[in-house]
Amino acid sequence: MSSSVSLLPLVGVIPPFLFLWWAERFERRVQEPAPQWRYRVLAAGGFSAVPVLIVGIALSAPVSALRDPLLTFYEAFILASLVEEGFKMLCIALLTRGALAPRTRYGAFLYALHATMGFAVVENVIALLSAESVEALTRRFMLRACLSVPMHLATGGVLGFMTAKGRFDRDSLGWPIGFALAVFFHGAFDALLYGVDRLPEGMEGWRAACATLALALPIFGIVALVRFAKRLRALDSAQQRPHRSQNSGANSAI
């Protein structure tokens, strides 16, 4: 790629921030965690791309000895999904304590979305840097904007929803189930994309099925994310209502 367009990969930051802005608009009344706190988690999610890369290189040694379908399973569910979701979960666990701890379910949900979009920003830029031409960069940008970034947001939504439930609702299974679901859906998405490239000739029908499912998973995930957001908002509102009633009663008594 020529030096005149060397800054073009930076457009990779646009889709994650647009999706994050959209997700934050679900509930305009939520003012916590404060934006500067949320963006610390976003920055940590971005920096986690470095250890993800290092661990990924360390775990890639067995790849040469594997053949499909084990190769696809290992690359999709271990090298990509388990490692990436694991470091996102680590960011959330380490940076949402003490003063940074969310005070509402929806706040915990937002933390997870910021962590996962921070990683998506860095991953997008790295992916676009390797494009050989403007045309290749444009195609890769569109694919990542329409597939990879929504999938990251969706897995972050699953993780955030279960983490929020586990933190505030003792009857919930909490983050372990959210982490397992995020790893599963992320891995399934990557495995489907690998299937489109790796299935042998004569299996065009299976390739089409893999492509269709790979497209459907992010859409399903975004729909689920919206439902998660509504559910958490409803639970937070229901919990805050008795406090408002108690405060009103106390003021009346005074």
Is 254's pLDDT higher than 50?
no
Tokens of 62: 């067995």
What digits encode the pLDDT tens for the residues 220-239?
999 999 999 989 988 888 88
Tokens of 146: 């329409």
Is 250's pLDDT higher than 90?
no
The predicted model scores a pTM of 0.87
Average pLDDT (81-101) is: 89
Confirm if 202 and 136 have CB atoms less than 8 A apart: no
Could you state, in order of their start, the residue ranges of all structural domains in the chain?
A: 3-236
Is 132's pLDDT higher than 90?
no
Is 21's pLDDT higher than 70?
yes
Q: What is the pLDDT of residue 252?
A: 45
Is 194's pLDDT higher than 90?
yes
Q: What is the pLDDT of residue 36?
A: 78
Average pLDDT, rounded, for the chain: 86
Give the confidence band of 141 by pLDDT, cuts at 50, 70, 90: very high
Average pLDDT (163-179) is: 86
Identify the residue with better confidence: 241 or 106: 106
Exposed / middle / buried, residue 247 (Cβ in 10 Å: 0-12, 13-18, 19+): exposed
Average pLDDT (99-112) is: 87
Tokens of 80: 């990509």
* Start-to-end Cα distance in the chain: 72
Where do we find the tokens 């379908």?
A: 69
Average pLDDT (182-186) is: 96
Average pLDDT (182-203) is: 92
Instruction: Choose among 111, 110, 84: nearest CA to 96.
Output: 111
Instruction: Choose among 109, 104, 73: nearest CA to 198.
Output: 73
Give the confidence band of 180 by pLDDT, cuts at 50, 70, 90: very high
Is 200's pLDDT higher than 60?
yes
Q: What is the pLDDT of residue 218?
A: 93
CA distance 59 to 79: 7
Q: What is the pLDDT of residue 30?
A: 63
Q: What is the pLDDT of residue 35?
A: 74
Q: What is the pLDDT of residue 187?
A: 96
Is 248's pLDDT higher than 60?
no
